Structure 1
Amino acid sequence: MINVFSAPPQGIQTAPHDPRIVAAGYQVSVREIDLSNVRDKEGLMLAVLRGLALTESFGRNWDALYDVLTDPQSRPTRFAVVLCDYEHFRKRNKNLGAELEAVLLDAQRDAARQGRSLWLLAEEPASDPRAW
């Protein structure tokens, strides 16, 4: 299996096991956004604020999210966002998930135009071994 960080970012990709450890070897900074308890846009923006370690001045809207992800002053040149519990989030929040994905993919394309890399990684919770 090819390491996700050995190639340019391409859409929302499956996160490797232990993404922080893998990313460190490729000099990629990683932040995680926990989507497991998100039920609405307000909750999503709060999860983004926490996950990206933003200040309270974060505008909590789509434009503000795009700006944060594409601002070379606030993000490293090689940056990954791990979307924790992404598939479940998408199933629970179809419209909100589609809006989030559009903003993330636009930011990824803009970062690439700037010569920067923005990986978008979907991570699912570990399956419960008792379910086996």
Structure 2
Amino acid sequence: MIQVFDEAPQGLQHAPHEARLTAAGYSVAVREVDFTHVDDKESLMLAFLRGLGLTEHFGRNWDALFDVLTDPGQFSGRLALLLCDYVPFRARRASLAAELETVLLDAQAVSAREGRNLWLLVNEPDNHVL
């Protein structure tokens, strides 16, 4: 079975079983962002602040999130964002999720051009479709 970390990141992907353990075997840093209580942009930015371990100086806007995710000094060259409870969030807040996905996919593309990997892993039961 091919592991997600065997290949370059490709958009939003299903998280492997025991993502943290699998990532450790590939020297991939994992940061978990929990969408359980995200209902608006402010709570979304707080989820990233907590999940990425950012300081209160984090700008809490799309540009600031993009900058953090593409800053080579912020994270190693191999980072996986584990997006927890993302599918229900996307169902609740489709337009906010669409804005977020634009930022995440743009950050993934810029990282790839700069020789870094940014995996976007959705941690959901197998019956959810991305």
**Could you state the TM-score of these two structures normalised by the residue count of structure 1?**
0.93
- Report deviation, 1:35: 0.3
**How many equivalent residue pairs?**
127
Distance 1:76 1:64 in 2: 18
Distance 1:123 1:92 in 2: 17
Residue 121 (structure 2) pairs with residue 118 (structure 1): no
Flag structure 2 segments of 5+ consecutive residues without an equivalent.
none
Aligned to 2:98: 98
Flag structure 1 segments of 5+ consecutive residues without an equivalent.
128-132
Structure having the higher Rg: 1
- Report deviation, 1:60: 0.2
Asked whether the equivalents of residues 14 and 121 of structure 1 are also in contact (C-alpha less than 8 Å), the reply is yes
Aligned to 1:52: 52
**Could you state the TM-score of these two structures normalised by the residue count of structure 2?**
0.95
Matches within 5 A, 1:73-112: 73-112=73-112
Distance 1:116 1:80 in 2: 11
Aligned to 2:68: 68
Q: Percent identity?
A: 63
Aligned to 1:130: none
Distance 1:32 1:22 in 2: 14
- Report deviation, 1:19: 0.5
